[in-house]
Amino acid sequence: MPYLCSRAIKTNLLPSLLRSVFAVLFLAAGIIGFATYAAHAGQYRVVEHPLERNGIQLFLQSISPAAGAMPEKQILFAHGVAFSSHPFDVDYKDYSLARFLADHGYTVWLLDIAGFGRSGKVADGFMPNADYAAQDLNAAADMVLSLSKAKKLHLFGWSWGTVTASRFAARHPEKLRSLTLCAPILHGLGLMSVTEPFVTQEVWPHAYKDFRLLPNGAVDPQFAESEVVRLYTAGVKRYDNHPIPNGGRREVFGPKDGPLIPAGKLELPVLYIWGAQDKFMDAPALRRAIAATPGAVRVEVLPDAGHALFLERPSHERFHNILLEFLEAH
φ/ψ (deg, to 5) at 48 = -95, 140
pLDDT digits (tens, 9 = 90+) for 64-104: 999 887 889 999 999 999 999 999 999 999 999 999 999 99
Does 1 score more than 70 pLDDT? no
What string of DSSP letters covers 273-309?
A: EEETT-TT--HHHHHHHHHH--S-EEEEEETT--TTG
In whole angstroms, give the CA distance from residue 323 to residue 8. 58
pLDDT on residue 27: 35
Does 36 score more than 90 pLDDT? no
Q: Among 29, 56, 41, 37, which residue's Cα sits nearest to residue 114?
A: 56
Does 21 score more than 80 pLDDT? no
Superfamily assignment of 42-328 in CATH? Alpha/Beta hydrolase fold, catalytic domain (3.40.50.1820)
pLDDT digits (tens, 9 = 90+) for 154-202: 999 999 999 999 999 999 999 999 999 999 999 999 888 899 999 988 8
pLDDT on residue 201: 83
Mean of pLDDT over the chain? 88
Q: How far apart are the first and last CA of the chain?
A: 40
pLDDT digits (tens, 9 = 90+) for 110-153: 999 999 999 999 999 999 999 999 999 999 999 999 999 999 99
